[in-house]
Structure 1
Amino acid sequence: MNFLDLSPSPERTGRACAWIEQDGRLLMAARDSGGWTLPGGGIHPEENPAQAAVREAWEECGAHAEVTGEPVILHSASGMASVCFPLRLISPELEPSPEGRPVAWIDPRVLPWADDVQLRQVLRARGETPQHLDLPPLVAQADAEGAKTGFDYGCSLEVGRLLRVLAASRPTGHLLELGTGLGTGATWLLAGMGRHAQLLTVENDPDRALTARKLLQHDSRAEVLHGDWTETLAHGPFDLIFADCAPAKRESAQLDRLVNALCPGGVLVLDNFTPPTRLPAAFHGGDATREALFGHTRLSCVEVQVSARECVLLATRCG
């Protein structure tokens, strides 16, 4: 559904949105593509971010409101940043949305709302993340190291949660990660692994390997290697392989080596694939990696979209 856009100016720069909470309920606006979102939009050249948040709350929700505190920087699934301001209503009742949007008052601290890409960032900034949705401590440490060093190639939150679930399905499994980075993927795997499972993870950059080794040094289930990922395949067979380095993930010629390193019933996980609706023109003629996986005679494959911008390919070695 397309709603009226009262601020169509192409000169808008940046984005602002509003967090309006009343009696434990949060105000959300209908989005054009369906579902709900925090009221927000582009910042006009003649206004500051706080003014934009107040204006958007009015245009999208019919809310007369004022800023009450400091903003939180949010990152959308597409990577766009927004400045989110806390607002309070200065008029007790909402008026009909000038843009014609329905509104909803939801509880932001329970599922599914607490896991919304916007809401979970505000809750985390406020220290209000529900315990069952909070990051495992080692994952938080790995993320903090990435933020400090500017290394942003660790797996996403959505992929991390999937890795934790898959690891938990192999309680005594032998797991392999190709491309340790700073340890984000490894810490998610360890969060799901049983006491008797083992994880081998390899990184070709010596500094990153050292950082990950220090992070994981107190967990006897994990071993961090520095070197060529292909050499670790000899340590198999593995119950799960998370291929998180480009040569293992994108070079179809290496696929047989990965399959041979899996146990029958073992799972190969490849992340960071672009959903079909967002594929660039270079892939309009097809994706060789997807073709190789789905066409492999010893694999049973499925593609899972974990966020608006990312798919994961799962492939199980057939007996």
Structure 2
Amino acid sequence: MEENIHIDFPLTYQAIQEKTRVSGFSMASDVLTGSLLRTLAASKPASNFLELGTGTGLSTSWILDGMDEKSTLISIDNDDAFLSIAREYLGSDSRLELVNSDGEDWVMSHLSLRYDFIFADTWHGKYLLLDEVLNMLNPGGMYVIDDMIEQANWPLGHREKAEKLIQELENRKDLKMTNLVWSTGIIICVKK
């Protein structure tokens, strides 16, 4: 069975994907991850969403495609060249706020904010500032990360960091966690 045979892509996805290819950005989430993000987002009506690591907006388009009209998404990235692609194709969506900022600076200056869904697709909120970002999650909120299965482009020593992160998430008493060995390796946690 082909895993992505019947995927209905977000309206802007193909255009963003082409601009992403031309830009040289190579860290985008895959289609299966995007499809799952859309489904999970649809389970959170009238919610506040946070994406750490917009990139060019491919995963952002999936999250927006799952969100209802009463939900909002703040998406953060530190590379304005890539963020400009997301801005071009998604910037007119009134539910979305795209922010060009260093992840640490943004997280540390917004610690009082709370979210119902966090997709951490960059170092901050995943390998850095994990406690701070998880504290931003409402009870019942979802925390999602991808790229947890070893990949060819991982630098030396990254596998150990990923294993340490998985163990840290498994040991937390405030989360229920599922580790999916699917797509690029996805972890979904729900805050108790």
TM-score by structure 2 length?
0.87
What letter matches 1:301 in structure 2? M
Q: Tell me, yes or no, if the aligned pair for 2:124 and 2:130 is still in contact at 8 Å.
A: no
Q: Deviations over 1:144-169 (max 9, x none)?
A: 11112121211111110110011000
Greater per-residue strand proportion = 1
In the TM superposition, residue 284 of structure 1 has moved relative to its aligned partner by 7.4
In the TM superposition, residue 234 of structure 1 has moved relative to its aligned partner by 3.6
What letter matches 1:294 in structure 2? E
Following the alignment from structure 1 to structure 2, what is the Cα–Cα distance between the partners of residues 259 and 157? 25
Match of 1:272 in 2: 147
Name which structure has the greater RCO, CA cutoff 8 Å, separation 6+.
2
In the TM superposition, residue 281 of structure 1 has moved relative to its aligned partner by 9.4
Match of 1:148 in 2: 22
Work out which of the two has the higher radius of gyration on C-alpha atoms and give 1 or 2: 1
1:241 aligns with 2:118: yes
In the TM superposition, residue 228 of structure 1 has moved relative to its aligned partner by 2.1
Output aligned runs, 1:90-239, within 5 Å: 113=1, 115-116=2-3, 120=5, 133-230=7-104, 231-232=106-107, 233-234=110-111, 236-239=113-116
Q: Gapped runs of 5+ residues in structure 2? A: none
Following the alignment from structure 1 to structure 2, what is the Cα–Cα distance between the partners of residues 239 and 210? 26
Question: Runs in 1 of length 4+ with deviation above 2 angstroms?
Answer: 232-236, 279-286
In the TM superposition, residue 248 of structure 1 has moved relative to its aligned partner by 2.5
Following the alignment from structure 1 to structure 2, what is the Cα–Cα distance between the partners of residues 256 and 207? 29
Residue 218 of structure 1 aligns to a residue whose secondary structure is: coil
1:257 aligns with 2:132: yes
1:287 aligns with 2:154: no
Following the alignment from structure 1 to structure 2, what is the Cα–Cα distance between the partners of residues 249 and 286? 9
Q: Deviations over 1:225-282 (max 9, x none)?
A: 000224244462000000011232223xx2210111000111111100116xxx9995
Change (3 A) 1:116 1:236: same
Following the alignment from structure 1 to structure 2, what is the Cα–Cα distance between the partners of residues 247 and 135? 28
Following the alignment from structure 1 to structure 2, what is the Cα–Cα distance between the partners of residues 286 and 141? 32
Matched length: 185
Report the RMSD for the aligned CA atoms in angstroms: 2.4
Match of 1:316 in 2: 190
Q: Deviations over 1:278-297 (max 9, x none)?
A: x9995479811011111112
In the TM superposition, residue 177 of structure 1 has moved relative to its aligned partner by 0.2
Residue 49 of structure 2 aligns to a residue whose secondary structure is: strand
What letter matches 2:91 in structure 1? Q
TM-score by structure 1 length?
0.54
Q: Deviations over 1:150-198 (max 9, x none)?
A: 2121111111011001100011110000010000111000010011110
Residue 302 of structure 1 aligns to a residue whose secondary structure is: strand
In the TM superposition, residue 218 of structure 1 has moved relative to its aligned partner by 1.9
